[in-house]
A and B are shown apart, each in its own frame.
Chain A
Amino acid sequence: MAFTAPKESYAGKVYSVTIGTGDKAATIGGENVLSFHSFEGETPNRPLVAFEIQDVPPTDWPENVRKVFDGVSDDPVKWAKYCQDELKAKAIALRLVGTHPDRENRSAEDAAKTVREVLAAISVPLIILGSNHAEKDSSVLIAAAEAAKDKNCIIGKAQEANYKTIAAAAMANNHKLIAMSELDINLSKQLNILITQMGFDKERIITDPMCSALGYGLEYTYSVMERIRLAALTQNDQTMQQPLLADVGMYVWKVKESQAPESDLPQWGAAEERGILWEAETATALLIAGAELLIMRHPRAAAAVESVIEELV
Chain B
Amino acid sequence: MLIIGEKLSIIAKRVREAMMAKDKGPIQEIATRQWKEGSGIIDANIGPAEDGGEDLMQWMVTTIQEVVPLPVCLDTTNFSAIEAGLKVHNNQWGKALINSTSNDPERFPILELGAKYNCDVIGLTVGNRGLPADADERAAIAAEIMGRAMEYGLPLENLYLDPLVLQIATTQDQARHVIEAVKLFQHINEPPMKTVVGLSNISNGCPKALRPILNKHLFVLLMDAGLTAAIADAKEMAEVMEEKQLILDVYHGKEIEDKQKMSEIKKTLDVILGNTLYAHSYLEM
Residues of A within 8 A of B (CB): 184-187, 189-190, 193-194, 197, 231, 235, 237, 239-240
B279→A190 contact, CB < 8 A: yes
Contact B279 A239 (CB under 8 A): yes
Distance in angstroms between the alpha carbons of A187 and B168 in the assembled complex: 12
Contacts of A237 in B (CB 8 A): 276-277
CA distance A197 to B276 in the complex (A): 19
At the interface, yes or no: B260 with Cβ under 8 Å from chain A?
A: no
B interface residue numbers (CB < 8 A to A): 169-170, 172, 275-281, 284-285
30 A-B pairs whose Cβ atoms sit less than 8 Å apart in the complex? A184-B170, A185-B277, A186-B169, A186-B170, A186-B172, A186-B278, A186-B279, A186-B280, A187-B279, A189-B277, A189-B278, A189-B279, A190-B279, A190-B280, A190-B281, A193-B279, A193-B281, A193-B284, A193-B285, A194-B281, A197-B281, A197-B284, A231-B277, A235-B275, A235-B276, A237-B277, A239-B277, A239-B279, A239-B285, A240-B277
Least CB distance, A161 to chain B, in whole angstroms: 15
Bound form: Cα–Cα A141–B275 in Å: 37
Task: Give the docked Cα–Cα distance between A23 and B281 (Å).
Answer: 40
B170: A residues at CB distance < 8 A: 184, 186
The smallest beta-carbon distance between B183 and chain A, in angstroms, is 24
When chains A and B are docked, how far (Å) is the Cα of A191 from the Cα of B266? 22
- The distance in angstroms between the C-alpha atoms of A235 and B279, with both chains bound, is 14
Q: In the complex, what distance in Å separates the CA atom of A190 from the CA atom of B281?
A: 6
Chain B: minimal CB distance from A144 (Å): 29
Interface centre among A186, A187, A190, A194 (most CB of B within 10 A): A186
CA distance A240 to B277 in the complex (A): 9
- Report how far A237 CA is from B276 CA in the complex, Å: 7
On chain B, the residues within 8 Å of A194 by CB distance are 281
Q: How far is the CB of B280 from chain A (nearest CB, A)?
A: 5
B206 closest partner in A (C-beta): A186
CB nearest to A194 among chain B residues: B281
Shortest CB-to-CB span from B134 to chain A, Å, is 16
In the complex formed, the residue of B with least CB distance to A238 is B285
Residue in A closest to B275 when the chains form the complex, CB atoms: A235
A235 contact from B277, B281, B284, Cβ within 8 A: B277
In the complex, what residue of chain A is closest to B278 when comparing beta carbons?
A186
Extra pairs beyond A189-B277, A193-B281, A235-B277 (17, CB < 8 Å): A184-B170, A185-B277, A186-B169, A186-B170, A186-B172, A186-B280, A187-B279, A189-B279, A190-B279, A193-B279, A193-B285, A194-B281, A197-B281, A197-B284, A235-B276, A237-B277, A239-B277
In the assembly, what is the distance between CA of A231 and CA of B277, in Å? Answer: 7
Q: What's the nearest-Cβ distance from chain B to residue A217, in Å?
A: 16
CB distance from B206 to the nearest CB of A (A): 10
> Looking across the interface, which residue of chain A has its beta carbon closest to that of B171?
A186
Which of chain A's residues have a CB closer than 8 A to the CB of B277? 185-186, 189, 231, 235, 237, 239-240
Question: In the bound complex, how far is the Cα of B274 from the Cα of A231, in angstroms?
Answer: 10
Q: Chain B residues with Cβ under 8 A from A190's Cβ?
A: 279-281
